[in-house]
Structure 1
Amino acid sequence: MKLFSREQIYEADQQTIKKQDITSTELMDRAGSQIFNWMHLRLQGAQVPIHVFCGIGNNGGDGLVLTQHLISHGYHVTTYIVNYSHKRSKDFLINYDKVKSMTKTWPVVLEDNEAFPEINQEDIIVDAVFGIGLNRPVPDWVKDLFIHFRKTKAFTLSIDVPSGLFLDQPVKDEDAVVWAGYTLSFASPKLVFFLPETAKYTAQWEVLDIGLDQEYLMSTKTEADLIGKHEVLPLYMPRDKFSHKGTFGHTLIIGGSYGKIGAVILSSRAALSAGSGLVSAYVPKCGYIPLQSSFPEAMVLTDRDENEITEISFDLKPTVIGMGMGLGTSPNTLDAFEAFLKNNKTPLVIDADAINLLSKNKALLKLLPIHSVLTPHPKELERLIGTWSDDFEKLEKVKSFSKKYHAVVVIKGANTITVFQEKIYINTTGNPGLATAGSGDVLTGIITGLIAQSYSALAAAIFGVYLHGKAADITIEDYGYQSLTATHVIEYMGKAYLDLFEQPQQLPQEEPKEDN
């Protein structure tokens, strides 16, 4: 799913108005009507007090269209105009007059230094104050109104985006943003719904189709895409009946040190479960028996040193190499890593201590093969690219890094983001159960195993992140968040693959009743 920018949404509006020969007021009617349909389906006429807070721009106009429908369907609704400016949009004024003509109780105009309305916890707040057009700080008294919303603990529904939330800037004052229980977003969800610092401002979201021009939406390229099952299915490569283990590549996992051989075992097992035809592991001597005894499917090569990797030398020709898990960052290991990079031409997936070694000696970054995949967690990423002031700066720094080194960067987190050049891909699978030891090692193994099967580096990263999260989502149905382990994710990889082809269950339909 594409995530459109503010400018692209404005352009989509204009293209729709032009191509469909409608007015901007008619497009606003569509938006407000869809919001009402969503609410009406769930409320079914329930007489819960609804408080609609409208700004004086087009977002407020959407709220006024909603008000008209709520009034005409007999809902208990009170409408407020948040009068933060003397300017009014044309479509706001048109719908303001329509509301006034429908009821003797005109919308309540809220001004600075006026008391805010009483709202009970059982009521509903509809936030239609700012929308995506906000381009200046929120006035102090409007911020106080938003604080009032939170104090009431009433369910808050935001239209398009929680008011006070910029689409392309960090939040400087969290009290100046509406904390929405649900956001109904037009055309697409917004990037800020998925970034660590701004996702908290909407607990849930849903996209409403308001009939924007499909040709424009389909043909327009976006900076960000949201990745779900629909997006990864075209990436899947089915297997031929006459294929064999050599068809699906040979993965080599390099890592481990004394006490950290488990990380290599997890990555190796994950690579095989992802579909790699062959898997070998290169470890210090202390890892030989653990690997051979716990993972018989793997072939094992060892360093001469007992406790750490001091030389990386092997006589096989792997399809892809995943490295870094449990590796350590000793001077001997750094020397071995540098010597390996100088001679290596094999595609790489780089994780954990291999990233830390690159951060210690950034000159080594120039030795990476193009389209190497790096999978840092937040602290590893910080060591690699430096600190950032907010999520937007972080993304810009990662994009610059990706362009400079022609690398794919997987930013691990609640909504793991894959970055390549100027494009970002936001994953939708996964859950808090993945906050457990070894889950990152498993992800590295999955991505490496996919590259072994001839997936491109970018496709393997996007698909691997999705499968990793989906396996975890299926796992929690049996184990819950707290008891999920990295091993469970490997064991449920098969179900994650099968889920790609499962159709969503249809709710049973009620048979139509005959009129008496």
Structure 2
Amino acid sequence: MKILTAQQIKECDFATIEKGISSINLMEKAAKFCVDWIEVNFRSTQKFLIFCGTGNNGGDGFAIARMLYEKGYNVEVFIDKNNREFSPDANVNFKKIKQMSGVDIKDFSDLMIRDDKTVVIDALFGYGLNRGLSGATKNIVEKLNQIKIPKISIDIPTGLFADKIIEENSTVLKADFTLTFQFYKKSFLHPETGKSCGKIIVLDINLDEDFIDVIKTYYFVIDEDLIKEIYRPRDDFSNKGTYGKSILVGGSYGKIGAILMSTLSALKTGSGLTFTIAPECGNLILQSQVPEAMFIGCGEKYIEKFEIQDKAVYGIGPGFGKEKQTQNALLDFLENYHDPIVLDADALNILAETDGMRLIPKNSVITPHPLEFERLFGKTENSFERLKLARTKAEELQIFIVLKDHHTAVITPGKKVYYNITGNSGMAKGGSGDVLTGILTSLISQKYDIEKACIFGVWLHGKAGDLAAEQFSKESMLPTDLIHKIGEVFKSLSS
């Protein structure tokens, strides 16, 4: 799914209108989609308090108010009575709601909530907002944020910008749900801004498909349609050699669990042949826990050297440690190896400390979390700036950066960004990243195009995490639970 800028969304609306639907009818359609969703999900609600601004987002709110009232709900509409300069389409819907004797139109200052079966609908400002809130709108949003009842934002929570970060301590409505039209907004996917959105519901209101197909963007959301295009079902007439050779390199005394999880996840993702290169102290653990993988020792407690094997994909870093001999082993390997690899965890920390980024082969994959990214490339002010720097570095080094976060982003050497929307906070545990390393290594060894392997890998990782959280809870799920859910994800793709 493409992510468009606010300006591009506006152009898409115009293109849709030019195809034969009037702007007021497009507003009517958007409102109906919202009401249909609200009716299904808030059936027992007794009253809706709908806060409307003066622009087209307010027009959506007036139309939603009318439709809910016609369905028998108790509706109150709130506006800033000192500012009634509505947009033309908003004015049409405002006049319609004024003619309904059963709908009270109140000023923001009249807000009183007496019933806990009440829901707030935020239609104050849409995606076109370009400055912070002030005056009556700021005051009412701050008041609503103090009230503990469900809040639904229409298109985007009031106070957020579509494409950029907000200033620190800005006033933004804290929504429980955001009903957005056709596209994710970039701001939904960054931690500083996305935390105000609650659960995102994308409503397809049938904007002009021809326009959407041709409009250019560097930003995308990974959705199931994209995954189904990427996924390749297993060929019945195949053998273990068909699915590649994965070599997971890592582990050190006390950290064998990390490379064990990488190895197991590579196998679960379909690797044909799987090797683990680790210190001898991990031999018994790895051979007993993952007998399907072959063990290659390379030191007693720490990795001291590892050899290059032909026709293999290496995933290096989980539990690796940063001992001097291990640093030398990694740098020696990189001096002599020129095919794409996957680098994670301590492998990245070693490169940050030794200025070894120049040694990474082109088209390799690195998987830093924010702190590891900072060590590699320097400090940034926020996640928007971090992403900007990541795009620059991916192009400069000709590598793929899998930037781990709540919405992990895959950044390509061509500066494209793919945001992942699977996964949950239960995965915020040591070991989850080691699982991802195994998944990515396995997919690349199976000859998935590297860009597609990254996209598929982060989606698969998150989807398995969602299934683990569903069974065990976010608090109690473990990274190993996630590994054992990978099979369920593949079954759902092949059904």
TM-score (norm 2): 0.93
More deviation, 286-295/83-92: 83-92
Distance in 1 (alpha carbons) for counterparts of 2:81 and 2:373: 44
Matched, 1:50 2:35: no
- CA-to-partner distance for each residue in 1:152-191, whole Å, 9 max, x for gaps? 2222111100100111222325561111121111112323
User: 1:281·1:300 contact (CA, 8 Å) conserved in 2?
Assistant: yes
User: 2:97·2:103 contact (CA, 8 Å) conserved in 1?
Assistant: no
Any residues of structure 2 matched to 1:318-333 within 5 Å, and which? 318-333=311-326
TM-aligned CA distance change 1:327 to 1:84, over 3 Å: farther
Deviation at 1:216, TM superposition (A): 1.4
- CA-to-partner distance for each residue in 1:47-97, whole Å, 9 max, x for gaps? 723221111111111112223333444432222223686754222223323
Deviation at 1:348, TM superposition (A): 0.3
- CA-to-partner distance for each residue in 1:358-404, whole Å, 9 max, x for gaps? 11133x22221111111112211221222222221111111111111
User: 1:356·1:384 contact (CA, 8 Å) conserved in 2?
Assistant: yes
More deviation, 213-222/76-85: 76-85
Deviation at 1:217, TM superposition (A): 2.1
Per the alignment, residue 450 of structure 1 pairs with 443
Letter of the 1:460 partner, please give it: A
Matched, 1:417 2:405: no
Percent of residue pairs identical: 38
TM-aligned CA distance change 1:489 to 1:80, over 3 Å: closer
TM-aligned CA distance change 1:500 to 1:55, over 3 Å: same
SS class of match (1:404): helix
Per the alignment, residue 98 of structure 1 pairs with 96
Matched, 1:219 2:214: yes
Out of 452, 457, 465, the residue aligned to residue 458 of structure 2 is 465
Per the alignment, residue 233 of structure 2 pairs with 238
- CA-to-partner distance for each residue in 1:436-471, whole Å, 9 max, x for gaps? 232211110111011111012211111112222222
User: 2:262·2:438 contact (CA, 8 Å) conserved in 1?
Assistant: yes
More deviation, 171-180/385-394: 171-180
SS class of match (1:461): helix
Per the alignment, residue 33 of structure 2 pairs with 34
Out of 199, 208, 221, the residue aligned to residue 204 of structure 1 is 199
Deviation at 1:149, TM superposition (A): 0.8
Out of 163, 180, 197, the residue aligned to residue 175 of structure 2 is 180
User: 2:75·2:104 contact (CA, 8 Å) conserved in 1?
Assistant: no
SS class of match (1:238): coil
Rg comparison, structure with higher value: 1
SS class of match (2:390): helix
TM-score (norm 1): 0.89
Any residues of structure 2 matched to 1:473-488 within 5 Å, and which? 473-488=466-481
- CA-to-partner distance for each residue in 1:7-42, whole Å, 9 max, x for gaps? 22101110011112x332222222223323333445
Any residues of structure 2 matched to 1:17-416 within 5 Å, and which? 17-20=17-20, 22-42=21-41, 48-82=46-80, 88-103=86-101, 107-110=105-108, 115-120=109-114, 121-174=116-169, 176-303=171-298, 305-314=299-308, 316-362=309-355, 364-416=356-408
Distance in 1 (alpha carbons) for counterparts of 2:470 and 2:61: 39
Per the alignment, residue 510 of structure 1 pairs with none
TM-aligned CA distance change 1:306 to 1:38, over 3 Å: closer
User: 1:146·1:177 contact (CA, 8 Å) conserved in 2?
Assistant: yes
SS class of match (2:476): coil
User: 1:318·1:346 contact (CA, 8 Å) conserved in 2?
Assistant: no
Distance in 2 (alpha carbons) for counterparts of 1:109 and 1:491: 55
Distance in 1 (alpha carbons) for counterparts of 2:74 and 2:472: 44
Distance in 1 (alpha carbons) for counterparts of 2:295 and 2:54: 68
User: 2:164·2:187 contact (CA, 8 Å) conserved in 1?
Assistant: no
User: 2:126·2:156 contact (CA, 8 Å) conserved in 1?
Assistant: yes
User: 1:82·1:129 contact (CA, 8 Å) conserved in 2?
Assistant: no
Deviation at 1:318, TM superposition (A): 4.0
Distance in 2 (alpha carbons) for counterparts of 1:491 and 1:70: 45
Letter of the 2:440 partner, please give it: I
User: 2:246·2:273 contact (CA, 8 Å) conserved in 1?
Assistant: yes
TM-aligned CA distance change 1:481 to 1:207, over 3 Å: closer
Deviation at 1:103, TM superposition (A): 3.7
Gaps of 5+ in 2: none
User: 2:119·2:151 contact (CA, 8 Å) conserved in 1?
Assistant: yes
User: 1:321·1:346 contact (CA, 8 Å) conserved in 2?
Assistant: no
SS class of match (2:146): helix
User: 1:147·1:175 contact (CA, 8 Å) conserved in 2?
Assistant: no
User: 2:75·2:103 contact (CA, 8 Å) conserved in 1?
Assistant: no
Equivalent residue pairs, number: 493
Letter of the 2:4 partner, please give it: F
Deviation at 1:475, TM superposition (A): 2.8
User: 1:255·1:327 contact (CA, 8 Å) conserved in 2?
Assistant: yes
TM-aligned CA distance change 1:473 to 1:99, over 3 Å: closer
User: 2:423·2:465 contact (CA, 8 Å) conserved in 1?
Assistant: yes
User: 1:320·1:451 contact (CA, 8 Å) conserved in 2?
Assistant: yes
Per the alignment, residue 487 of structure 2 pairs with 494
Distance in 1 (alpha carbons) for counterparts of 2:326 and 2:437: 20
TM-aligned CA distance change 1:7 to 1:452, over 3 Å: same
Letter of the 2:27 partner, please give it: M
User: 2:249·2:315 contact (CA, 8 Å) conserved in 1?
Assistant: yes
Distance in 1 (alpha carbons) for counterparts of 2:450 and 2:383: 24
Distance in 2 (alpha carbons) for counterparts of 1:402 and 1:84: 51
Deviation at 1:432, TM superposition (A): 2.7
Deviation at 1:148, TM superposition (A): 1.1
